[in-house]
Structure 1
């Protein structure tokens, strides 16, 4: 059972997400917060596996709440919820400790995949956000394309295949299906890739994939 805390100042949004998660027996909603301060307090009280956190909330905004939750409840993963696929807060959210970014209007399957991934300790971006984020954040990378190609050259052929799919925004389960390996094997590859590239999460690895030309820029 994956224990989830919902945090959004819109009651209808909370009700909708609660209903979607409630349709799957593997998820349990353990609490709901209407502002960022309440989200932090409930996260500390319930210690859920995952917090779904609206990026714009009263009293304490989502970015500040995410950072405080990660600092005080480090075993809890945080997924930011946004209305826009091109959200300038993405880099700040991940650097502040968020593990995922989902569109409020996304497919329920993305919600399930994101919560599962973050509960397992992975990072997750919905595909629409991933495409924009890689392009946007890739442009901020100081080392540039040459450095990225050098880093990727140190990977095995299989690791480069996995990295390309990480760069495309795919979760581990989908990568496994495409490469015809079990999800556990993909996790091993991803861990190895992060270590070899010396990056903290798969979002930064995806940026390297983009800069190295492993991901289509269109």
Structure 2
């Protein structure tokens, strides 16, 4: 039919395999591409699809980024963008990112630096934040159900009224974190966590329905995981 485009599999390549030297025009589709620590030169990336692209350590300071889709793109403190471009408000994920109320369900955010980020009311259910840096971040009102926070750095993280049902916090550093007003810890696993000694009595005083709920992933109950911390 006239006007319909067809995908030619003979010339098609997956967006995540695209490298900067292969960019031809501003219709670039680099979803999920790994561009870490690369100099992007003066490429025209206006309206490009850079969703989930890894830009940590990359230099995009001479690129044109107007209209680019940067949702869930990863950046860090070494990422460089053009003067005046607001990377923190672009939907990208990294230090200082403005993500209040953002839909980040099931996102792969392993080892991402989120220090200084705004995540109040964010939807993080099922997200993998293993090894992430969340020191000092406010997660008040966030949906953290089934979220993986294994080995995450959560020092002085403010969990506020977040939901932690079935969350996997094994080995997380929770020194100075505030968990007293979380909505629920039903099935959450705190095995091997650091810094919860002062909060253990209050956490173990929560409802039986929360404490004795079985987590089939970690094969543990919240109560057992918390009681195991008494010997650390």
Higher percent of residues as strand: 1
Return the structure number with greater relative CO, CA threshold 8 A, min gap 6: 1
Settle same-fold status: TM greater than 0.5: no
Normalising by structure 1, what TM-score?
0.32
